[in-house]
């Protein structure tokens, strides 16, 4: 019996050239039958076919949409389901979204079976609330000071992020430019996984 | 030494555990879900009880050459900042010792080796705490400290001279 899991909000953070796109291509897009990349830059994700808004409801496979305005994400939230949605360079357009769209990203995605990958260049650019709803932080090398977020997220998580950030910096300095770490934010995932494993073994 | 090794092992085990869990999760099926209908999804009345106001966060700004130069300037200022702190300490502490304990202030000054030890310690501290001071702040604080110390010293010596004259 295949184990089932709830959908996830993954925060993928790292400066340019740290391997975020390669990671998303190899470890994310290749694992899904259905995935959509939303990018503000037409020159990115060149190998992916462009999906039109009217094709979205019956779309299957891997494709991309170019962000031209807030209505694009509204359309996606009404028509896309059962796959991965990669919001590439998300902070370039997230602040233009309505509360309803933010609610979709944080909560309603579960109802429609969507894993979201929110991609950003720096930790400080992630909206504070995103940490409350996130499942994972996949952290690549970052160069900013994250201390302004200290009061906005729980201390143990903050400490864990800072430790990882420092470890990643050291590994990058020691010749591993694409080193990254996976930080579990939603601890329920671990207990559900353990429970699922236990049931599967019975 | 042993303690450090254990801590490092624990940290790497934790990382490996979380990473394996993430990879295992990719192999699992997503729970049952609904297919959205165009008109019923974004019902704004649903938001009334959700308290999800539009968030304020730092929008992404393009990094300019000026930003890079400013950041480099700040990083490179750590050693001069540490040097300045030590020079000020070397002025202020002997004056304070002279004022309060009446000891020869020249005997309380730092030698070359002591200055180097303190310099390394301050550089480490400023780097770890990510203390960033702008060149203007360094200049202003050094002027304030030197002149405040000089004023204190001048007042003290003037008072001493007056007392001597009166005596």
Which domains does chain A carry? 9-184 (3.40.50.300)
8 Å CB contact of B30 and A113:
yes
User: What are the contacts of B24-28 at 24+ separation with CB within 8 A?
Assistant: B24/A193, B25/A5, B25/A8, B25/A189, B25/A193, B26/A27, B26/A28, B26/A31, B27/A31, B28/A2, B28/A3, B28/A4, B28/A5
CB pairs under 8 A between A and B: 133
Token pair of B46 as six digits: 């649903």
- Specify whether the CB–CB gap between A8 and A182 falls below 8 A: no
Please compute the mean of the pLDDT values over residues A69-73 and round it to a whole number. 87
pLDDT number for residue A54? 82
- Using 50, 70 and 90 to split pLDDT, how confident is the model at A116? very high
B63 at the A interface (CB within 8 A)? no
Query: Is the pLDDT reported for residue A83 higher than 70?
Result: yes
> Which of A131-135, A179-183, B80-84 is predicted least confidently?
B80-84
Instruction: Give the per-residue pLDDT at B64.
Output: 66
CB neighbours of residue A44 within 10 Å? 14
Task: Residue window 46-105, chain A: list those with CB within 8 Å of chain B.
Answer: 74, 77-82, 89, 91-92, 94-95, 97-104
Q: Which residues of B touch A129 (CB under 8 A)?
A: 52, 55
Closest CA to A180 of A20, A27, A29, A8: A20
pLDDT at A81 over 70: yes
Q: What is the pLDDT averaged over residues A164-193?
A: 90
The DSSP secondary-structure symbol of A47 reads T
- List the pLDDT tens digit at each of the 167 positions of chain B: 333 333 344 444 454 478 888 888 888 888 788 877 755 444 434 444 444 444 555 555 566 666 666 666 555 667 777 888 888 888 888 888 888 888 887 888 888 888 888 888 887 787 666 666 677 877 888 788 778 878 877 887 788 788 888 77
Q: Can you count the helices (H) and strands (E) in chain B?
A: 5, 1
Q: Per-residue pLDDT for A1 more than 70?
A: no
The confidence score (pLDDT) of residue B50 equals 47
Q: Is the separation of the CB atoms in B119 and B89 below 8 Å?
A: no
Measured between CB atoms, does B19 come within 8 Å of chain A? yes
Residues B47, A99: C-beta atoms closer than 8 Å: yes
DSSP β-ladder status, A35-39 and A9-13:
unpaired
How far CA A152 is from CA of A116, A131, A157, B55, B57, in Å, comes to 22, 9, 10, 13, 12
pTM: predicted TM-score of the whole model, two decimal places: 0.61
Chain B partners within 8 Å of A103 (Cβ): 46-47, 50, 52
| Residue A197 banded pLDDT, cuts 50, 70, 90 | low
pLDDT above 50 (res A97)? yes
Tokens 């303690």, residue?
A: B3
Q: Which residues of B touch A145 (CB under 8 A)?
A: 130
Give dist(CA A41, CA A67) in Å, integer: 8
Q: Averaged over A141-156, what is the pLDDT?
A: 83
Longest C-alpha distance within chain A, in Å? 51
Q: Quick check: A145 contacting B, CB < 8 Å?
A: yes
Quick one: closest CA in A to B47, which residue?
A100
CA separation for the pair B72, B2 (Å, rounded): 37
**Residues of chain B contacting A142 with CB distance shorter than 8 Å:** none
Q: Identify whether the C-beta of residue B47 lies closer than 8 Å to the C-beta of residue A100.
A: yes
Flag the least confident range among A126-135, A191-200, B35-44, B135-144: B35-44
pLDDT of residue B158: 86
Dist. CA A184–CA A189, nearest whole Å: 8
């Amino acid at each position: 019996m295949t184990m089932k899991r709830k959908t996830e909000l993954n925060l993928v953070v790292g400066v340019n050239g740290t391997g975020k796109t390669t990671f998303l291509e190899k470890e994310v897009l290749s694992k899904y039958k259905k995935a959509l990349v939303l990018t503000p830059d037409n020159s990115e994700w060149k190998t992916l076919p462009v999906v039109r808004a009217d094709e979205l409801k019956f779309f299957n496979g891997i494709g991309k949409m170019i962000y031209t305005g807030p209505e694009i994400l509204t359309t996606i939230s009404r028509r896309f389901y059962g796959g991965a949605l990669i919001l590439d360079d998300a902070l370039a357009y997230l602040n233009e979204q309505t509360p309803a769209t933010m609610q979709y990203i944080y909560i309603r995605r579960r109802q429609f079976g969507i894993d979201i990958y929110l991609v950003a260049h720096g930790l400080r650019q992630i909206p504070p609330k995103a940490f409350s709803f996130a499942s994972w932080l996949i952290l690549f090398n970052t160069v900013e000071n994250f201390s302004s977020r200290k009061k906005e997220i729980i201390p143990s998580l903050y400490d864990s992020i800072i430790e990882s950030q420092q470890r990643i910096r050291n590994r990058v300095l020691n010749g591993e430019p694409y080193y990254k770490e996976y930080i579990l934010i939603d601890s329920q995932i671990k207990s559900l996984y353990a429970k699922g494993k236990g049931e599967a073994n019975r | 030494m042993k303690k450090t090794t254990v801590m490092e092992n624990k940290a790497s085990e934790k990382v490996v555990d979380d990473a394996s869990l993430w990879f295992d999760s990719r192999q699992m099926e997503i729970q049952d879900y609904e297919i959205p209908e165009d008109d019923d999804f974004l019902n704004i009345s649903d938001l009334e009880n959700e308290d999800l106001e539009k968030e304020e966060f730092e929008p992404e700004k393009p990094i300019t050459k000026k930003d890079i130069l400013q950041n480099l300037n700040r990083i490179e200022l750590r050693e001069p900042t540490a040097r300045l702190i030590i020079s000020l300490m070397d002025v202020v502490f002997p004056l304070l010792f002279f004022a309060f304990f009446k000891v020869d202030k020249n005997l309380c000054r730092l030698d070359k080796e002591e200055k180097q030890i303190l310099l390394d310690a301050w550089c480490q501290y400023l780097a770890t705490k990510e203390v960033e001071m702008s060149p203007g702040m360094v200049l202003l604080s050094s002027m304030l400290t030197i002149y405040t110390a000089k004023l204190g010293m001048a007042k003290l010596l003037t008072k001493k001279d007056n007392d001597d004259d009166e005596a």
